[in-house]
């Protein structure tokens, strides 16, 4: 892409003496499409086409007897009467209510602390807190699965030491919080780095002014720093929300370890995957994928519009 | 001239190291002791699974269950090298295939996605072409489309074309990175003045040459960031290869290791390979940790590019 043929340079040469580059730029505007074209093609083929196709599939049924048949909204009606789908939806909704505030809250807290104390230790902590982001979700879930495991986890010996019955972290009652812990461990550092970097970009003369006005460190943090970095908070919240609603990897990996605590419809994405690849119900799975995708999309847009003034996304 | 500009930009991005803050060191000391203790506790929490993995990677399956040092310390029998030897030979060395596949998928998908994002971001930032506003709105909206919603329809489409169970089934969908385009656009808009490009045009430089010789060098920090993010995304990808690939020799390491976990979980005694699951996991996380350590300057600043507006 970086090589240029001499002919192109010839034809692209601008007319002489354009004033202040305005005409110049207009003249070259069509090159925008040339630069955009490769991405636009990939966008159409791997985003627009699958979405349209998913929607099309979701409006059809496919049976051995009748083949592919138009079914209207039947798949959607079935989905919204499907207890398994609805309970999965309710579960990711509950996860979102816990994950998002927990992750972003901790990320903001750590970022504010790291912005305040600048020592070798704090720089090292920053690396350690971020490190899980470099670990694949599968490996993260595997590691925590081992740590939770009653047969080779450290928790059992720890509770033995206290002479207390160790809780089964992979049981139906506790799996929600066990998953919460894994995801918090995995993602907090990533959000922290985003927030920390925007804290770093604040002009420090503001702090000087605040100090002269007698603001305490805490007041400076809450009333000056947080409002300034509101746009990166909005961004991280949207990312966390999108990630949580499509929750898949961690429950999928833990399912064999956690036995009956995680079923095939634990999250909508897991349900869609199992419907498609275990039961070959691609049309119904498409309806669920599409409904979930639409919901994630609408939830993010609603959140962005509600916080429009704060977010940089326009 | 170009190099000095690059340096200048590197400095002006938040990537460039900690900001000097003048404070009174003696005054805040007592408070910062408390904060330091908190940081140590937090660090230990984030370190715990990694430490466990380092220790567990050196154990035999026997040592994992009944090691002398407990789960968080080394066993008397240091089996790391045995494990590595077994990883290299088990099932005809399939683990090495998986690592190679992960590299291929991450690098090919990551580099491809970055090239597309660089070109498209540059287009959005520096050309007022017809339909730009609408296209950019669509792009922003697509950032909110969950990637997993695309996997099942893409699978069916690929299946019709006979592309499932090939490397293309993983690489081609990974080329899509709307967020990468957004990051590049935001960065280019601020980092490359229009006047610079116009000056090049007046000098008779063609559009492609201007891009390659003037704009691209200035985009370096954002390019490295987008590349790093896409490569990590590819390396960590799970849902897509899980759906697309059933041929064991084409799996990436994430899906392969999980298959070993499932096997060990439901296995009879002689196919228990927990030691390979742990040592394989340990080895598979090393490349990315090294990449992140080497490219600290970039990700620490660059990640925030998109939110600085």
Q: Where are the domains of chain A?
A: 6-58, 81-306
Residue from the list A8, A252, A312 with its beta carbon closest to the beta carbon of B206: A8
Domain B90-307 has CATH 3.40.140.10: no
Helices B274-294, B253-265: axis angle to 10 degrees equals 150
**What is the predicted pLDDT for the residue at B303?**
58
SS3 A255: helix
Q: Which of B117, B105, B154 is nearest to A46 (CA)?
A: B154
Give B31's contacts in chain A (Cβ within 8 Å).
217
B223 alpha carbon, distance to own chain's centre:
13
CB A292 within 8 Å of CB A241? no
Interface pTM, i.e. ipTM? 0.84
**pLDDT confidence tier of residue A232, bands split at 50, 70 and 90:** confident
**What is the predicted pLDDT for the residue at B30?**
62
Q: What is the distance between the alpha carbons of residues A252 and B205, in angstroms, rounded to a whole number?
A: 54
pLDDT per residue, tens digit, chain B (309 aa), is 333 333 333 333 343 344 444 444 444 556 678 889 999 999 999 999 999 999 988 888 888 877 777 777 888 888 888 889 989 988 898 999 999 999 999 999 999 999 999 999 999 999 989 899 999 999 988 988 888 889 999 999 999 999 999 999 999 999 999 999 998 998 898 888 988 988 888 888 888 999 999 899 989 888 988 998 899 899 999 999 999 999 999 999 999 999 998 888 876 666 678 889 999 999 999 998 888 888 887 777 655 554 443
Contact B145 A285 (CB under 8 A): no
State the DSSP H helix or E strand holding residue A70, giving kind and residue range, or none if neither: strand A67-70
**pLDDT confidence tier of residue A154, bands split at 50, 70 and 90:** confident
**What is the predicted pLDDT for the residue at B31?**
65
Residue from the list A12, A50, A133 with its beta carbon closest to the beta carbon of B206: A12
Least confident window among A143-152, A167-176, A189-198, B293-302: B293-302
Region A218-238: what's the mean pLDDT?
Answer: 87
- Cβ-Cβ pairs closer than 8 A, A with B, add up to 350
Residue from the list B19, B28, B302 with its beta carbon closest to the beta carbon of A204: B19
A202-212: pLDDT as tens digits: 888 888 888 88
B48: Cβ–Cβ under 8 A, 6 or more apart, which residues?
A147
The mean pLDDT value of chain B amounts to 84
Residue in A with minimal Cα distance to B46: A129
Contact A204 B239 (CB under 8 A): no
**What is the predicted pLDDT for the residue at B28?**
52
CB B250 within 8 Å of CB B55? no
Per domain, the residue ranges of chain B are 33-78, 90-307
Q: Which one of B33, B46, B196 would you mutate to disrupt binding with A, by most A Cβ within 10 Å of its Cβ?
A: B46
B277-299: pLDDT as tens digits: 999 999 999 998 888 888 887 77
How many C-beta neighbours within 10 Å does residue B290 have? 11
Distances (CA, A) of B257 to A251, A279, B262: 16, 24, 9
Contact A286 B152 (CB under 8 A): yes
Q: What is the distance between the alpha carbons of residues B273 and B83, in angstroms, rounded to a whole number?
A: 10
Q: Which of A287, A283, A191, A312 is nearest to A242 (CA)?
A: A191
The mean pLDDT value of chain A amounts to 85
Q: Which of A187, A138, A176 is nearest to A258 (CA)?
A: A176
Contact A273 B155 (CB under 8 A): no
Question: Would an 8 Å CB–CB cutoff place A267 in contact with chain B?
Answer: no
Least confident window among A129-143, A149-163, B22-36, B65-79: B22-36
Contact A297 B49 (CB under 8 A): no
Give A26's contacts in chain B (Cβ within 8 Å).
128
DSSP 8-state class, residue A313: -
Three-state SS for B133-196 is HHHHHHHHHHHCCCHHHHHHHHHHHHHHCCCCCCCHHHHHHHCCCHHHHHHHHHHHHHHCCHHH
- Angstroms from A79 CA to nearest CA on chain B: 16
**What is the predicted pLDDT for the residue at A254?**
92
B25-82: pLDDT as tens digits: 444 556 678 889 999 999 999 999 999 999 988 888 888 877 777 777 888 888 888 8
Give B179's contacts in chain A (Cβ within 8 Å).
none
Residue in A with minimal Cα distance to B217: A2
Pairing of β A60-63 and β A67-70: antiparallel
- Angstroms from B258 CA to nearest CA on chain A: 7
Counting Cα atoms < 13 Å in the Cβ hemisphere of B90 gives 22
SS3 B16: coil
Domain A81-306 has CATH 1.10.10.10: no
């Amino acid at each position: 892409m970086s090589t240029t043929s001499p002919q192109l340079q010839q034809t692209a040469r601008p007319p002489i003496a354009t004033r202040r580059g305005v005409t110049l730029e207009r003249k070259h505007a069509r090159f925008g499409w040339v630069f955009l074209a490769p991405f636009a093609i990939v966008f159409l083929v791997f985003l627009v086409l699958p979405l349209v196709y998913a929607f099309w599939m979701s409006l059809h049924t496919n049976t051995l007897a009748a083949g592919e048949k138009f079914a209207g909204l039947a798949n959607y009606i079935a989905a919204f009467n499907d207890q398994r789908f609805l309970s999965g939806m309710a579960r990711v909704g509950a996860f979102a209510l816990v994950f998002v505030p927990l992750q972003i809250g901790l990320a903001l807290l750590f970022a504010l602390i790291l912005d305040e104390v600048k020592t070798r230790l704090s720089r090292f902590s920053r690396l350690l807190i971020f490190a899980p982001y470099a670990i694949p979700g599968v490996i993260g879930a595997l590691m925590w699965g081992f740590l939770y495991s009653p047969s080779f986890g450290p928790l059992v010996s720890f509770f033995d030491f206290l002479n207390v019955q160790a809780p089964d972290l992979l049981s139906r009652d506790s799996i929600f919080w066990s998953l919460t812990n894994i995801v918090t461990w995995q993602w907090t550092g990533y959000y922290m780095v985003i927030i920390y970097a925007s804290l770093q970009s604040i002009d420090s003369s503001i702090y000087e002014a605040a100090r002269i006005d007698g603001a305490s460190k805490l007041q400076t943090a809450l009333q000056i720093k947080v409002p300034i970095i509101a746009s990166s908070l909005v961004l991280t919240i949207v990312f966390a929300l999108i990630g949580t609603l499509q929750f898949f990897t961690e429950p999928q990996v833990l399912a064999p370890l956690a036995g009956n605590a995680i079923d095939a419809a634990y999250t909508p994405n897991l349900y869609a995957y199992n419907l498609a690849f275990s039961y070959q119900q691609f049309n119904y799975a498409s309806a669920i994928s599409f409904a979930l995708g639409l919901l994630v999309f609408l939830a993010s847009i609603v959140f962005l519009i509600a916080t429009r003034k704060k977010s940089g996304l326009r | 001239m170009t190099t000095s500009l690059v340096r200048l930009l590197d400095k002006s991005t938040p990537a460039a190291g900690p900001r000097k803050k003048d404070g009174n060191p003696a005054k805040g000391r007592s408070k910062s002791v408390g904060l330091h203790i908190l940081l140590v506790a937090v660090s230990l929490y984030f370190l715990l699974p990694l430490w466990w993995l380092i220790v567990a990677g050196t154990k035999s399956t026997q040592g994992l269950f009944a090691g002398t040092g407990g789960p968080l310390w080394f066993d008397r029998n240091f089996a790391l090298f045995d494990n590595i030897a077994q990883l290299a030979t088990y099932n005809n060395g399939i683990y090495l295939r998986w690592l190679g596949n992960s590299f291929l998928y991450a690098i090919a998908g990551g580099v491809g996605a970055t090239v597309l994002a660089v070109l498209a971001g540059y287009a959005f930032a520096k050309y007022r072409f017809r339909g730009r506003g609408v296209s950019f709105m669509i792009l922003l909206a697509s950032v909110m489309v969950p990637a997993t919603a695309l996997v099942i329809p893409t699978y069916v489409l690929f299946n019709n074309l006979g592309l499932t169970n090939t490397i293309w089934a993983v690489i081609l969908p990974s080329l899509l990175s709307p967020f990468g385009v957004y990051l590049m656009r935001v960065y280019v808009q601020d980092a490359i003045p229009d006047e610079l490009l116009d000056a090049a045009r007046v000098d008779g430089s063609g559009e492609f040459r201007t891009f390659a010789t003037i704009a691209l060098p200035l985009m370096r920090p954002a390019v490295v960031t987008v590349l790093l993010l896409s490569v990590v995304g590819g390396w960590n990808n799970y849902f897509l290869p899980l759906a697309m690939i059933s041929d064991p020799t084409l799996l990436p390491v994430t899906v392969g290791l999980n298959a070993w976990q499932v096997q060990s979980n439901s296995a009879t005694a002689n196919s228990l390979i927990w030691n390979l699951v742990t040592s394989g996991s340990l080895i598979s996380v090393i490349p990315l940790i090294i990449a992140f350590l080497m490219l600290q300057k970039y990700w620490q600043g660059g990640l925030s590019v998109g939110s600085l507006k």
